[in-house]
Chain A
Amino acid sequence: MAPNSIHWFRKGLRLHDNPALLQAVRGAGTVRCVYFLDPWFAGSSNVGVNRWRFLLQCLEDLDANLRKLNSRLFVIRGQPANVFPRLFKEWKISRLTFEYDSEPFGKERDAAIKKLAMEAGVEVNVKTSHTLYDLDKIIELNGGQPPLTYKRFQTLISRLDPPEMPVETLSDALMGGCVTPVSEDHGDKYGVPSLEELGFDTEGLPTAVWPGGETEALTRIERHLERKAWVANFERPRMNANSLLASPTGLSPYLRFGCLSCRLFYFKLTDLYRKVKKNSSPPLSLYGQLLWREFFYTTATNNPRFDKMEGNPICVRIPWDKNPEALAKWAEAKTGFPWIDAIMTQLRQEGWIHHLARHAVACFLTRGDLWISWEEGMKVFEELLLDADWSVNAGSWMWLSCSSFFQQFFHCYCPVGFGRRTDPNGDFIRRYLPVLRGFPAKYIYDPWNAPESVQAAAKCVIGVHYPKPMVHHAEASRLNIERMKQIYQQLSRYRGLARLPRVTAAGASCSTFTIKKTRGRAAANSDCNRTYTSNSNSLVGRPLLSFVSITNIFELLGGYGYMLRI
């Protein structure tokens, strides 16, 4: 008897390049595509209305495309672990297929379902198609440890075979004799719910800037490649005022939900490059954006604490401030810095912001100004950002807060100057913060410096209609650079990293201000006849870049993780 299959959609909400889905229909008698509105992903409290809407649109689109194949999508309310045993029985299932999920919680969930399925005598087929590579292979190639620098990651990638080609889109021909039994009351039982049904108030909700779904994704990728072909420039595009706005060629949310296959994107890019550049072989940098995503997936796959500071072996422990009021001001666009507030408004309204805008607000929240933990910012992004992916979101936050991956930390984005350089006219600000519309370009990034007459003419008095800046940026960045230096100095001592140049002859390389936790070495030295502390620990004269040199010592980071594990 031909098997009855279930294909379980989670990410990978598409019919193109979906190897697990093809596996489901191959030689099968029946197939049912299910999606669980499951608290693992949903936990509705944490996800904002824009993300929910995007997801529901993806599901609608999936259902519409399945209908064309005389099939339907089954949206099942409940948790997979509770519902699957019933479905297996009711539908006489003998095959379950789904896309491989590399994230720790996904792996845990999938292992449990696999076990359930095996107990029910259901064969399970899992295929990798959310990432370009088999992440475990990358880790294996790196000696069992995830690579901690992007350079290292690139080196490993270049030693692997190129990613596999995308598979065919599910079609009538591929469906063959496989059918989907659909009942009369399918819509009631398994239809895609509306936002209202999920308890969202949709009154006054503006239309989506980013409509969800595979169909939209495929239109966008064509537009995207058209644009690239026209520009014929494969280098990283530079930032300007236009790039701050949502673009009809933007793809990140579609990759996040798997409406677009990363492999399809990869090979379309390759083809285009070959066509435009006359068959020269494409550099790795062509795939930069795809590879960054892959990098963070790889570093996160075996680290369930990847989104935390405590207990996360690759995260530096930084004494962040707990300050709920300041955090709320940042999240609600009330910092008093128009550049920051406009970005946060755009994020809340539309669900997407430019990646340099992300850098700006992330830097402001963490090491740049407020000194608030990156975990808090990550949670806000998780709620609002359409393309927020557990691994990529946490990884990027760690990166931008200099908590991992050893970034240079001397450079903080200025909440006034950065925006002004990008969009000197301030149109972006006026678009998202209409209250400031009346300010001339000269003052729009720092309206608190505008003379009272200008504020009156703009019909916006700072401190009344728009908040005063919540921090003194120059002072905050001075303090925070010092904090960062202290932390990295302490780190650099973990392995007695003595290669930092020392100027004085005092000799002892011991620490003064950071003594503890240096397992032994400093403590052991602490008895030297120090008359005074050598400048290796005094911050006076400590060349800032010498600490920046830590960029390359992910070895050191390994050491740090080692310390935490012992």
Chain B
Amino acid sequence: MKRIKGVEEDSNSSSSKSPPEVCKKVRKQTSDESVAVVASESTESDWARLPQELLLHIFQYLPLLDRAYASQVCRTWNQAFHMPELWRCFEFELNQPASSYLKATHPDLIKQIIKRHSNHLQYVSFKVDSSTESAEAACDILSQLVNCSLKTLGLISTARPSFMEVPKSHFISALTVVFVNSKSLSSLKIDDTPVDDPSLKVLVANNSDTLKLLKMSSCPHVSPAGILCVADQCHGLRELALNYHLLSDELLLALSSEKHVHLEHLRIDVVSENPGQHFHTIKKSSWDAMVRHSPKFNLVMYFFLYEDEFGPFFNEEVPVTHLYFGRSVSKEVLGRVGLHCPRLVELVVCANGLRPLDEELIRIAKHCTQLSAIGLGECEVSCSAFVEFVKMCGRRLSQLSIMEEVLIPDHKYSLDEIHWEVSKHLGRVWFPDMMPTWCRFVTSVSHRCLRRSRQLPGCTRKARTPRA
């Protein structure tokens, strides 16, 4: 029997496998699942008599390529291959050889899915590389999904936001095909796409009762009014991700109206387009309304700002739970975080200046009583302050990811001692994170030593004369 062409998935792992091996595997799986299969393996017909639901169960455990091979065994298995249950989820991978190292879903398979299984599809995602062709191919597929009813749709740019390169009208018309036809869309991830206000209106008009998750970070064509329309109409919305410029007092009030279900997650990305950008503020009363309406909601904030752009943030209480500082953040702002973020659960600081964050951390430990995870990158903390911080937080610190360079040994603790001390307070073994030293065998003189050595004339000479 000839092999099905065009099933490219996972080929490096299993393409070399021949059907008999698959059979063996199927047998093994079956027995694993303790399904009573008659042990007589004498005739093929025994296999054909395997009840469909068992076959389905087994097939669900096989990757597509193995299923394709198995489908060549007999007619029954071939029928099983096409059962709708096996086609509810599909991930289209659209890559071009010129822009990606990964294989793409074979065009023949895509054709087959559109022809035979598009009405079965419910959970669909598109992974698209950095090329515009791939993004356009995704739009082409989307616009052919006329007779399907999707529950989940994800458009994922795996390298660069390539959907932004597609002509907006092309993208919008493809997306609205899904919006109009699906009617019961519940999850939508369309980050970094040219989606706009009118298309969100179409979404709302058709899916307002079912929409529960909407991720649309960095969609420049959406306005605050556009997202407000979604919040006003989709009362079942539980998870929302957007950029700070779309966040408004009105939006928060809409999300906390009586008709609205409790929000579970709100993710806000604060990205500066150009240095010195001015950001608006959100009223404390709006946040208060949110917390009253959805007391358990997670507010996740990602900051990618220059240090001097933090002015409008953290001056009043914010119900933020997860806080990520992707660029340098000043000591002062972290001090304000310690005062105004009582719900803080998780904190990541990628970088800070060269002054130790001792008081700030202690303050955070004191005021943020929910804090259970912290990550520090290019920062400095003295070992004793860090131990104090860990002691104050104690065992609730379930994640503690600290670069080794962050910890500055002092009179109380050396680097070798600190992991014992911290482990003791955490009640589990803990080590700082390390980066490979990559063959550096240079004794450079540390800051402190330099400071010390400046008092000894002549001592730094060696360090300062690089070999000509």
Which residues of A come within 8 Å of B, CB atoms?
150-151, 207, 209-210, 223-224, 227-228, 230-231, 233, 235-240, 242-243, 245-252, 255-256, 265, 283, 285, 288-289, 292-293, 295-296, 309-311, 317, 319-323, 354-355, 358-359, 371, 373, 387, 389, 392, 395-396, 399-400, 407-408, 410-414, 417-418, 421, 449, 472-475, 477-479, 481-483, 486, 503-504, 512-517, 519-520, 522-524, 526-527, 530-533, 535, 538-546, 548-549, 551, 563-566
Contacts and interface: CB of A to CB of B under 8 A. Distances in A.
Contacts of A256: 439
Contact of B401 (A389, A541, A548): A548
A309 B101 contact: yes
10 contacts: A228-B443, A237-B443, A238-B447, A247-B444, A319-B95, A359-B435, A399-B436, A512-B123, A523-B60, A526-B88
Contact of A319 (B129, B152, B302, B346): B129
Contact of A546 (B85, B130, B399, B437): B399
Max chain A C-beta neighbours (<10 A), residue from B346, B441, B449:
B441
Contact of B90 (A265, A320, A515): A515
Nearest to A208: B467
A522 B445 CA distance: 53
Given A320-B159, A512-B152, A513-B156, A238 B405 contact: yes
Contacts of B374: 545
Given A408-B433, A515-B90, A523-B60, A236 B404 contact: yes
B399 A548 contact: yes
Contacts of B186: 531-533
Contact of B444 (A237, A310, A517): A237
Contacts of A288: 437
A524 B409 CA distance: 51
Q: How large is the interface on B (under 10, 10 to 19, 20 to 34, 35 or more residues)?
A: 35 or more
B145 interface: no
B462 A551 contact: no
A565 B13 CA distance: 6
A395 B436 contact: yes
A411 B88 contact: no
A539 B305 CA distance: 21
B154 to A, nearest CB: 4
Interface string B15-36: 0000000000000000000000
Given A407-B433, A411-B350, A475 B271 contact: yes
Instruction: Please list the 3 inter-chain residue pairs (A to B) with the smallest Cβ-Cβ separation, ordered nearest first.
Output: A541-B265, A411-B377, A251-B441
B327 interface: yes
B238 A504 contact: yes
B436 A478 contact: no
A250 B9 CA distance: 48
A516 B187 contact: no
A293 B450 CA distance: 28
B268 to A, nearest CB: 10
B298 interface: yes
A540 B300 contact: yes
Interface string B67-99: 000000000000000000110111101010011
A336 to B, nearest CB: 15
Given A408-B433, A421-B353, A520-B60, A474 B443 contact: no
B158 interface: yes
A292 B99 contact: no
Contact of B266 (A249, A421, A475, A540): A540
